[in-house]
Structure 1
Amino acid sequence: MQFKLKYLLLLLVVSISINSTAQKSKRQVLEARRVQLQKDQIYINALLSNTIRTEKNVLNQLNDLKAKINTRQELIKAIENESKELSNEIYTNQLEINKNKRDLEALKKGYGEMIYNSYKSKSQNSRIMFLLSSENFFQGYKRFQYMKQYTAFRKKQGDEIHKKTTELQALTDSLQVKKDQKKALLDIQKKEHSVIEKEKKEQEILLAKVKQKENTYKKQIKQFQKEESRVASQIDKLIRAAIAASNKKSGSTTTAKATSKSATSFALTPAAKELNSKFELNKGKLDWPVEKGYVSTFYGKQPHPIVKTTTIQSNGVRITTEKGSKARAVFDGTVLAVQVTSGNKKAVLIQHGNYITVYKNLENTFVKSGDNVKTKQEIGTIFTDKITGKTILGFEFWNNTHKENPRPWIYKM
């Protein structure tokens, strides 16, 4: 029975320890997330503050403001989560402090009684008489040992009280630190709420301007979508031509079955198959196509972020970055083609086995068709729009002739 009780107590202690470590780890993750969002917010605000403000640029202004508000809302949510976790830690700490106080009181009470009893029989004569009144040597030795043990026990109790007092003070200090941290978080949250209210008022003014010229903006969006579709069609033709050439070179067009296959996938060499496998193994871990930036438009069919009555089709993601930024290869590969688009801008297609990554809206390029490139190698300078002041990379992801969402492939996109 005693063994079982000790075992249960041990399990309880281990459980509390694991739970405490898990809580700490969870808050560290939440804190890291909040700090990263604060950095992102500073970066996005700095990036967007360079955007040229003109009457013709209302859509971009509104889109920028929306990006700021979204980041700020994410930060507020992260602060709320971290604050809740801190509240849990404060509550746990307070329970531990209350327990330590009770333990300390019990120790002091026991120690006090022991000291009092010791005082009553403290005199040296009493101790000597206690030993001399022994009936025999063996009993005398036993009494001597008891006196030694009693003295040691008193010292141990004193040490235990000192240890408990130190622990209690440390917990109290830790509790105050956590309360200060929570207050600091709530102060940040209050400030963010205040700023977001101002930004939302600004958003309402801009939305009213958009409403006045909604048809004009719809035409602009339609024109942009038309150009996107034209470029996508060109990319599709380039990929299909490359697939046909690869199959012809490998001799896989000799049968009807192979001819059918040649229209949809590359005939890969052993080296290309190995690269393809490595590429697939790195899903979710591929590098960003820019050193710094944020996704301002995501993949797929979606309502326009501002003109809600208009639907847009994004064939990839659009990444807003700094003026003068370079596009970088997300993985090792071979330049499949360098395509010239409208306004003499360029797009680079890089093949990674059966996968092709596309880097659009480049002002100039540093590579040519057939070049082998390495991960993070710079492939061109991203174009900066002189009217809006925006530097945006269009990034697409193709699996043979099929467009895919790049987001699951790129690390923390």
Structure 2
Amino acid sequence: MKFFKAVLFLICVLGLSSAFAQSSAELKRRREKLNDELDQLNREYQETASNKKVSLKQLNILKAQINLREEKIVNINSEVRNLDNQISQSNNTVRSLQSQLDQLKKEYAGMVLFAYRNQSAYNKLMFIFAAKDFNQAYRRLKYLQQFGTYRERQAGYIQGTQRDLHVKINELDRDKKEKNNLLANQEKEKDELGKAKNTQVKVISDISKQQGAIKQQQRDVRKRIAQTNRAITNAIAREIEIARREAEEKARAEARAAAARAKAENREPAAPSKTAITKSSTNSQVLNATPEAARLSNDFLGNRGRLPWPVANGQLLHGFGTYTDADGIRSESSGYEIRTAANAPVRAVFEGEVRAIQDVAGAYTVILRHGEYFTSYSNLRSVSVSVGQKVSTKQTLGTAATDPSTGDPTVSFTLSKSRDFQNPKSWLADN
């Protein structure tokens, strides 16, 4: 019974270890990806730093570096917590295995002593012949045979437990070393983060000396963003109005057809359907008026938190909501401003239909409809889809353009439910 309890305990331990290992592997992959992105940003920053004229591009790279380093520190903290759990679990396992090993050795020593006292063939025969009847003699004979087999099996258990104990001790040592390495890496990242923030302060100070040119760059950026947001808002409003007119016309046509059938059958026409679209219907009802649109809305909502990013690789420059420019001006963002590679493919975050393609400030904006949800992709150099086209998840819509104001290849992304902009953070998966 003790042996089976031990086996059950080990199965539970291995299951927990597997869960930790999977999570640790994901965190490690994320840390390596952050390292690659930081290396790329470092190379780009060195290129811009060689130019004596400080630009917003330098500042944007520094912001991206700071964001990535902060994310990496958080990632390392999660790895350390995982390792702490694994170390604690391994310590418990080592103690349990040591206790089992001591008990197995104690039991085995008792069996060896018993075998030694009864090692002669004479004693064994006397043990059998002393039985009261034939059945008891037979059981005693089988007992002696099974006792030898059990002793061999017990020796095997001892060897197996010793091997498991050795493996767990090695794993424990490895986890402790890995934890120490991570903590050292974390301290290094904190130092680099401090240096990056100091450099950022210096760059902002240098930028302030070029106030005229920099302020013009900032005004150009804000103007482009404002123009893009107006274009997106107007396009969505038009889509809702078109959907409303189509739904109302469909409802009226169905009502006329129903009235004609009732007249032909000499009966009173049925009352209008409660789901029929009228002027008082909400935008959500209008956009979900068809079964296809309702299905797409539900599928889109069902993938909340798992949608892919609009670019395969990118760093967030501005998130959703209020942010402050280098010159101290507070601005509002309706979505994500993402820094990516030049000419990077921009892709759909979910299946849907292309409803608008607009030229805004010399760059393209593509708007997709996903039932009652809309996504927009702005600052595209080129577009590879057309209005009315159905697209699939991760299908390329176009390529990222370089912002002439900052010299950065950027993509603006928004996500809205009807006319209400949503924070992409709660919809997109971790990049």
Same fold per superposition (TM over 0.5): yes
Q: Does 1:298 align with 2:325?
A: no
* Partner residue, 2:335: 316
Which string of whole-angstrom CA distances, capped at 9 and with x for unpartnered residues, describes residues 22-81 of structure 1? 354145314412321321331353156336524554433233223223322322332233
Report if the CA contact (8 A) 2:379-2:403 is conserved.
Answer: no
- The structural deviation recorded for 1:193 is 3.9
Instruction: Specify the SS of the correspondent of 1:86.
Output: helix
* Partner residue, 2:346: 327
* Partner residue, 2:23: 29
* Partner residue, 1:3: none
* Correspondence for 1:79 among 72, 76, 79: 76
Q: Does 1:49 align with 2:43?
A: yes
* Correspondence for 2:380 among 353, 359, 362: 362
- The structural deviation recorded for 1:118 is 3.6
Report if the CA contact (8 A) 2:288-2:371 is conserved.
Answer: no
Q: Does 1:196 align with 2:193?
A: yes
RMSD in angstroms over aligned alpha carbons?
3.9
Q: Residues 60 and 243 from structure 1, CA distance in 2 versus in 1: closer, same or farther, beyond 3 angstroms?
A: same
Report if the CA contact (8 A) 2:227-2:360 is conserved.
Answer: no
* Count of aligned positions: 402
- The structural deviation recorded for 1:109 is 4.0
- The structural deviation recorded for 1:400 is 3.3
* Paired letter, 2:64: A
TM-score by length of 1: 0.79
Instruction: Specify the SS of the correspondent of 1:364.
Output: strand
Q: Residues 154 and 333 from structure 1, CA distance in 2 versus in 1: closer, same or farther, beyond 3 angstroms?
A: closer
Q: Residues 301 and 187 from structure 1, CA distance in 2 versus in 1: closer, same or farther, beyond 3 angstroms?
A: closer
Higher mean C-alpha displacement, 181-190 vs 165-174:
181-190
* Paired letter, 2:30: Q
- The structural deviation recorded for 1:125 is 4.4
* Partner residue, 1:227: 224
Instruction: Specify the SS of the correspondent of 2:353.
Output: strand
Q: Residues 28 and 150 from structure 1, CA distance in 2 versus in 1: closer, same or farther, beyond 3 angstroms?
A: closer
Report if the CA contact (8 A) 2:27-2:78 is conserved.
Answer: no
Q: Does 1:60 align with 2:57?
A: yes
TM-score by length of 2: 0.76
Which string of whole-angstrom CA distances, capped at 9 and with x for unpartnered residues, describes residues 320-360 of structure 1? 11111122233333332222222x22212223333332221
Report if the CA contact (8 A) 2:220-2:405 is conserved.
Answer: no
- The structural deviation recorded for 1:407 is 3.2
Q: Residues 362 and 171 from structure 1, CA distance in 2 versus in 1: closer, same or farther, beyond 3 angstroms?
A: closer
Higher mean C-alpha displacement, 312-321 vs 226-235:
226-235
Q: Measure, in 1, the Cα distance between the counterparts of 2:393 and 2:355.
A: 16
Instruction: Specify the SS of the correspondent of 2:425.
Output: coil
Report if the CA contact (8 A) 1:285-1:410 is conserved.
Answer: yes
* Partner residue, 1:406: 424
Unaligned runs of at least 5 residues, structure 2: 253-276
Q: Measure, in 2, the Cα distance between the counterparts of 1:130 and 1:409.
A: 78
Report if the CA contact (8 A) 2:358-2:365 is conserved.
Answer: yes
Report if the CA contact (8 A) 1:333-1:352 is conserved.
Answer: yes
Q: Measure, in 1, the Cα distance between the counterparts of 2:174 and 2:91.
A: 13
Q: Residues 261 and 229 from structure 1, CA distance in 2 versus in 1: closer, same or farther, beyond 3 angstroms?
A: farther
- The structural deviation recorded for 1:287 is 3.5
Q: Does 1:238 align with 2:235?
A: yes
Q: Measure, in 2, the Cα distance between the counterparts of 1:185 and 1:357.
A: 39
